[in-house]
Amino acid sequence: MVEQILLSPPHMSGTEQKYINEAFETNWITTLGSNVTAFEKDLADYDQIKYALTTNSGTAALHLALLALGVQSGDQVFCQSFTFIASANPVNYIGAQLTFIDSEPESWNMSPQALDRALHDAQKKQQLPKAIIVVHLFGQSADMEALINVADSYDVPIIEDAAESLGAQYHGQPSGTYGEIGFHSFNGNKMITTGGGGCMVTDNEEYHERALHLATQAKEARNYYYHTQQGYNYRMSNIAAGIGRGQLQMLDHYVDRCCNIFTTYQTALSRIPGIAFQPELPNSRGTRWLTTLTLRDQDPWVIMKHLQHYKIESRALWKPLHQQPLFKGVPFYAHHTNQDVSGDLFTHGLCLPSGSSMTTNQQQRVIDVLNQCLR
């Protein structure tokens, strides 16, 4: 029997069990406990930021970030189009209005040019957004310097969707810490996992306290249950945080491994005509959470089917949100007139198996099957 090679499975080190056992031994398994406190401190230290608030999903962390910034029903929010739908869903939860922004070829992330045009138009209509959601796709940083310059000129705060980029750096600074608020995901397929979970990070005490209040059902500080606003059950459990503590200790090793996997793919496949790998901006270091590429001379859907035949999981790149039926009619600003970068990337893109637990033999099997098909 040929074993299946998965795209990005969880990578357990064994250290996690120590902290899980502590939660059981103290009988503290719910949404408070020493693991939660320690994990939040470790995350804040790793990101070199003041506050980290763990949640039960990355989506919850984004929802809290929007609420912390005061986004309300009817407000405008700009969001990168080339991303997973969870980057936009919390905007709908609130009842705010979306505008989608295209990607740039240099990073595959938000286009500063498209953002500038969208903000210019919004200012003329006196409808500037309350927030801009910038995504760091596949572990690669967006051009935060350019994007912040544009956003600051209109005095609009940025939320960094660093769900896929914990461990990445841009100009020597951790991913998710350039904007007013950032957040990470600890889903099962991410660089580290808590089995499902997330984290909001910020240097702003007011945003942190507001999000913490809302994440715990917005309970007021009284000796009985008293509520003045709607809250949410968004906190991470002590068991999940225990898994995260063990995982975070391995993060740098996992990033190094994924970067080595990417380099091996690039060396083995880059001479094949029509192949181009996701670029990395100067003065940045991505995690290569997934090795992603475009195929100009081949049909990626045919390649995916061929890999599947050999029990190798692959995946298309994200279908842009402005092309999703759910968001039909939502405004979209392309990188340049008649140049839909994100749509083009979806048409030609492919994700290869890239998990940090991938063995050398497994990767060579993927390369051999790709060479067989592509050549």
Catalytic residues: 190
Q: Are 311 and 2 in contact (CB under 8 A)?
A: yes
Q: Are 128 and 154 in contact (CB under 8 A)?
A: yes
Q: Are 275 and 295 in contact (CB under 8 A)?
A: yes
Greatest C-alpha distance within the chain: 71
What whole-number distance in Å separates Cα of residue 99 and Cα of residue 118?
8
Q: Is 241 helix (H, G, I), strand (E, B) or coil?
A: helix
Q: Which pair of tokens denotes residue 336?
A: 């340049």
Nearest to 112 by CA among 120, 328, 348: 120
Q: In what order do the strands lie in the sheet with 169-170?
A: 173-174, 169-170, 284-285
Reported as half-sphere exposure (CB side, CA atoms, 13 A), residue 372 has a value of: 10
Q: Amino acid identity of 220? A: E
Residues in the chain: 375
Residue position matching structure tokens 């192949």: 275
CB count within 10 Å of CB 214 equals 19
Q: How far is CA 296 from CA 60, 344, 345, 347, in A?
A: 37, 10, 10, 9
Q: Amino acid identity of 210? A: R
Nearest to 341 by CA among 317, 362, 357: 317
CB count within 10 Å of CB 355 equals 22
